[in-house]
A and B are shown apart, each in its own frame.
Chain A
Amino acid sequence: MKAFKYLSPTTVEEAIAFHGRHSETAKYMGGGTDVIVKVKEGWMEPDFLISLKKIKKIGELNKNNATGELSIGAMVTHATLEKSLMIQNEYPIIYDAVSNIGSLQVRNVGTIGGNLINAVPSADGAIPLIALDGVALLHGPEGERSVAVKDLFVSPYKTILKPREILKKITIPPQAPHTGSAYIKFGRRAAMELPLIGIGVLLTLNEIQGTCTKARICLGVAAPTPMRAFDAEKFLIGKKINEAILIEAGKIAADESRVRDSVRGKAWHRKEMIRVHVRRMGQKCLELINAGK
């Protein structure tokens, strides 16, 4: 592997200053499970690797019980999310997604922030955060700015982050009662594979009438960047959700998707799987709502 100087700042400001001093030849690193592979393969040739591991503030996971807002530090590992009972119980869609990223060895080190910044079209980590209306907090030389997680992605492997900017955390606004959410990574096997297609669904129902007041259908590998199936979401609003409605929503989402043929699978198969799994994830949402989760 190419030799580099390893820097481990303890604050975001210090990290940005380091990056400024070494500009072109410096790279930020989260857990390193992607960056180290890139350096080994020669796809990335940094003279300075700036590890964000020692910045305590961006490694915290907590929920503000007064406001109901969830805050996920960018350096929180997938395994931390997977093992959190709060995540398991209150944000099942996050659990569904992070528990099948890479392998346990990767999840023990890899971070949610790194997963987002990597911006692969599959983006298992991004789909639930988009479905939950997550907001990313970025910090650069000019200060902080917030952007919806769904707007982070420009094209495969490219985000809107400026060179020296750091993703600090993702905040999830409070979730309405009677909300269910679920994600499936569909592929040949879950571990160490990118999904053929990723499908996340979130539904909120009106307590009295049981009609849908909020719907999110988010797809990974269905377009160059993670996408929302807005037409399918709109279709669900105001309806009493049952199997027939979910089947229809699946069809609309499949039509909206911009799937392609790739080495991992064919476009027609991906569309078919969107159809099937939008329905199944929708049903899982209903089950969770009925179970009072």
Chain B
Amino acid sequence: MTTNISFLLNGDKISYDIKEHWTLLHLLREKLGLIGTKEGCGNGECGACTVIIDKLAVNSCLYLAIEADGKTIETIEGLASTDGTLHPIQQSFVDNGGIQCGFCTPGMIMSSKALLDENPDASREEIKHALAGNICRCTGYIQIFESVEAAQEKVAANKGGKDE
């Protein structure tokens, strides 16, 4: 029950022989060594394993690796530039106290990225709605929402800069 799949992972073409019962999370963490994506509950309740598949935020713990065949996948490892510069959302979480223990952070940031890629002007309500499936036991969420809003401003400012 081994099958070869290929997919685009953080811009790189990956081909891998997987077992059909593997989750995408298992493939990422245990086989590809991408341990930025976390396993929290393993049942789709906490959002720590969130990755972006074809532009949609998805729980990788409930997504079979075999269904990733042909898809475009983004994980937290793909966000920073090769020179180490953080993605505006990552920097914003650092600057605004959106991170404490850090366990939920990769999932929070991937959910935030999926939202802002689709809706850069998301309101506080829309941010809350999009992040409702990501649980954080440290921050009380307020700093996380503020981090996302600060990232929106940064992205908007960058865009303005480029246009001029």
Residues 186 to 209 of chain A near chain B (Cβ within 8 Å): 189-192
B63 within 8 A of A: yes
Inter-chain CA distance A242–B14, complex, in Å, is: 62
Interface-located stretch among B27-35, B77-85, B96-104, B125-133: B125-133
Q: Which of chain B's residues has its CB closest to A31's CB?
A: B62
**CB atoms of B133 and A6 under 8 A apart:** no
Tell me whether A104 and B132 are in contact (CB under 8 A): yes
A47 to chain B: closest residue by CB: B1
In the bound complex, residues from chain B placing their C-beta under 8 Å from that of A32 are 62-64, 67
B134's nearest neighbour on chain A, judged by CB, is A103
A33 touching B62 by the CB < 8 A rule?
Answer: yes
**Quick check: is B139 within 8 A (CB to CB) of the other chain?**
no
Whether A6 touches B66, Cβ cut-off 8 Å, given contacts A104-B57, A105-B111, A106-B59, is yes
> Which residues of A sit under 8 angstroms from B58, Cβ to Cβ?
105, 108-109
Interface membership of B19, Cβ < 8 A: yes
Known: A32-B62, A36-B64. A105 touches B57 (CB 8 A): yes
* A291 within 8 Å of B (CB atoms): no
8 A Cβ contacts from A244-282 to B: none
Whether the pair A192, B45 counts as a contact (CB closer than 8 A) is yes
Chain A residue nearest to B26 in the complex (CB): A1
Q: Are B62 and A104 in contact (CB under 8 A)?
A: no
Chain B 109-157 residues near chain A, CB threshold 8 A: 111, 114, 129-130, 132-135
Does A239 make an interface contact (CB < 8 A)? no
Check: B23 CB closer than 8 A to any chain A CB.
Answer: yes
For B20, give its contact among A6, A41, A53, A102 (CB under 8 Å). Answer: A6
Docked pose: A122 CA to B3 CA in angstroms: 38
A33 touches B44 (CB 8 A): yes
- Once bound together, how far apart are the Cα atoms of A4 and B1, in whole Å? 8
Specify the chain B residue showing the minimal Cβ separation from A109.
B58
Majority-rule SS of A interface residues: loop
Chain A residue nearest to B118 (CB atoms) is A83
Interchain CB contact under 8 A, B133 and A5:
no
Q: Which residues of A contact B129 (CB under 8 A)?
A: 99, 104
Tell whether, in the assembled complex, residue B66 and residue A104 are in contact, meaning their CB atoms are under 8 Å apart: no
**CA–CA, A190 and B128, complex, Å:** 11
Instruction: List residues of A (72-126) whose CB comes within 8 Å of B's CBs.
Output: 79, 99, 102-106, 108-109
Q: Is the CB of B67 within 8 A of A51?
A: yes
Query: What does the 1/0 interface line of A18-40 toward B look like (CB < 8 Å)?
Result: 00000000000000110011011
Q: Which residues of A contact B56 (CB under 8 A)?
A: 79, 108-109
Residue of B nearest to A2 (CB): B21
Q: Which residues of A contact B40 (CB under 8 A)?
A: none
Does B67 lie within 8 Å of A3, measured CB to CB? no
With A53-B67, A109-B63 known as contacts, the answer to whether A37 contacts B132 (CB < 8 A) is no
A-B contact pairs, 27 of them (CB 8 A): A3-B1, A3-B19, A4-B1, A4-B20, A6-B66, A32-B63, A32-B67, A33-B44, A33-B59, A33-B62, A36-B23, A36-B62, A36-B63, A37-B44, A41-B43, A99-B129, A103-B59, A104-B57, A104-B111, A104-B114, A104-B129, A105-B57, A105-B111, A105-B133, A109-B59, A191-B133, A192-B45
